[in-house]
Amino acid sequence: MQICQKSYTYIRRSPLEFEVDDWVYLKVSSMKGVMRFVKKGKLSPRYIVPYRISTRIDIVAYELELPQELEAVHPIFYVSMLKKCMGDPSFIAPTENVGIKDNLSY
């Protein structure tokens, strides 16, 4: 039974890889019920504005160029936290309401 499930998984899975200077969205709602940014629930943002990849640490880890308001956040993210930005990132409005709490959570 596991062999059948494994074959279906590998057919549908596509490896995620990004290049340096690509623009990616950062996933902010990774766990259900955990309040990362101000809102909680169905209408909370899943991804926030695109950021540029500055360096590739490993096959699955990338360092992003984060703005000054997110300086308390560690800039290296796992590939599952990123989503490729397909459009021009200059057309996307910045998020000013992102706040870092005293315990360094979003």
Quickly state the pLDDT bin for 72 (edges 50, 70, 90).
Answer: confident
Q: Give the side-chain half-sphere CA count within 13 A for 64.
A: 27
In the chain, domain spans: 21-31+39-89
Thinking of the domain 21-31+39-89, which architecture would CATH place it in? Roll (2.30)
- Per residue in 1-43, pLDDT tens? 667 777 776 666 677 888 998 999 888 765 555 545 555 566 6
At residue 48 the predicted structure's pLDDT band, cuts being 50, 70 and 90, is: confident
Each residue's pLDDT tens digit, 76-89: 999 988 988 887 66
